[in-house]
Structure 1
Amino acid sequence: MTKVLVLYYSSYGHIETLAQAVAEGARQAGASAVIKRVPELVPEHVTERAGYKLNQPADVATVSELPGYDAIVIGTPTRFGNMASQMKNFLDQCGGLWFEDKLVGKAGGAFTSTGSQHGGQESTLLATHTVLLHLGMVVVGLPYSFKGQLRMDAITGGTPYGASTLADDGNGGNRQPSDNELDGARFQGWHVARVAAALAASPIGVPQ
């Protein structure tokens, strides 16, 4: 069975919710999906004052376990158009895996959230893709066969680079992922799992 890791960081729960949808989609494709998060770097007294969602049940991932999966889908909120430092810190520890080609040929993807419609979703996803490419992974996005990307009747996330959501209602309020955004996340999980299964059936090796 294809094994998919949904690896995320979430301050307020939006990415956590999308991660659950991505995992649901992967399971719909017949894969085994595990949801894990990266360690928090912000001191506890700061997270409490800022209202971070601290009761997240997902286990904390380790770098050493990554080669055990056929696909890794990374979820991170945007920080000034780039991934959150918590996720970058975790990925920066993958040097040993890079050196030994441990992730080459595995499927990889990304999803994100921003506080506004133009808050850096695409730049964050593309920056995450850059890391996946350096690790030798096969980048899988959210294709336009998910027709929810084409909707013009509602404010919604969703890009060809990966699923996304908007975390602010425009008035400083907390907006949760919409049904369309969750559908996009499920579609991406399903799509990544199918690509990963195909790659696992014909592993990428070194040309002779």
Structure 2
Amino acid sequence: MTKILVLYYSSYGHIEQMANAMAEGARSGGADVDIRRVAETAPQQVVEAAHFKTDTAHPVIEGPDALKQYDAIIVGAPTRYGRMPSQMAAFWDTTGGLWFTGGLIGKVGGAFTSTASQHGGQETTLFSIITNLMHHGMTIVGLDYGFQGQMGVDKVRGGSPYGATTIADGDGSRQPGAEELDAARYQGKRTAETAARLKG
């Protein structure tokens, strides 16, 4: 059985919901899945003033060496000015030892994100995550067009060939829709299936 990590950072719970759906999809693809989050690095007064969501069932990842035990790692984070937030970047900045030893080469990776608007940097944020994974030698699984729920302009919807996405609106009031959660499940399942094939 392949082992998959869904690693995320979520300020207001949108990415946390997508992480849960991603894990559901990976499990449906036959994988054993763990969900972990990266540590909050914002000052406590900022967390409180911005009303960040701090209650979660998912523990903080133990450290970069924990990544070695997984066959695939799917990384989710909201956008910060078109890139991953500092909380997630800070974690990946600690993985130099893994890079030096090639600890993640040949593993499968993927990304998902959330933005306030439809043109709020979804694809650049996904790429800011994916570039880290590619530098580690990982094989990337996106959200291919086998998932047709990302098509059409009849309503607000997330989705990108580079990874599942959701749109939160400027005040965070819009929650992930059914199709966006299905997109995460689809990508999670495809990641599990790909990891199983590569593991042989």
TM-score, normalising length from structure 2?
A: 0.97
Distance 2:24 2:195 in 1: 15
Name which of structure 1's ranges 147-156 and 9-18 shifts more when overlaid on structure 2.
147-156
1:120-178 residue CA offsets vs partner (Å, 9 max, x unmatched): 0000111211111100000110000001111332210000000000011x6x4511000
Q: Which consecutive unaligned segments of at least 5 residues does structure 2 have?
A: none
Match of 2:117 in 1: 116
| Equivalent residues of 2:6, 2:74 under 8 A apart | yes
CA distance in 2, matches of 1:139, 1:197: 14
Tell me by how many angstroms 1:56 deviates. 1.4
Structure 2 SS opposite 1:79: coil
1:12 and 2:9 matched: no
- Structure 1: 5+ residue runs without aligned partners? 202-208
Partner residue, 1:145: 146
Instruction: Return the offset for 1:45.
Output: 2.1
Deviation, 1:199, is 1.0
Matches of 2:43 and 2:86, distance apart in 1: 13
Work out whether residues 109 and 139 of structure 2, in 8 Å CA contact, stay in contact via their aligned partners in 1.
Answer: yes
> TM-score normalized by structure 1?
0.94
Name the CA distance, whole Å, in 2 between partners of 1:173 and 1:26: 27
Aligned residues: CA RMSD: 0.9
SS at match of 1:59: coil
Q: Distance in 2 between matches of 1:11 and 1:63?
A: 21
Partner of 1:33: 33
In the TM superposition, 1:10-159 aligns within 5 A as: 10-61=10-61, 62-159=63-160
Secondary structure at the aligned position of 1:72 is classed as strand
Secondary structure of the residue aligned to 1:33 is strand
Higher Cα radius of gyration: 1
Contact 2:29 2:193 in 1 (8 A): yes
1:183 and 1:153 mapped to 2: Cα distance? 18
State the number of aligned residues: 199
CA distance in 1 between counterparts of 2:159 and 2:172 reads: 20
Residue 198 of structure 2 corresponds to which residue in structure 1?
199
Structure 1: which amino acid aligns with 2:105?
A: V
Tell me how far apart the structure 1 counterparts of residues 19 and 48 of structure 2 sit (CA, whole Å): 23
Instruction: Provide the C-alpha distance between the structure 1 equivalents of 2:38 and 2:128, rounded to a whole number of angstroms.
Output: 18
Question: d(CA) in 1 for partners of 2:56 and 2:50?
Answer: 16
C-alpha distance in 2 between matches for 1:149 and 1:49: 34
Equivalent-residue separation in structure 2 for 1:93 and 1:173 (angstroms): 30
Identity over the aligned pairs, expressed in percent? Answer: 56
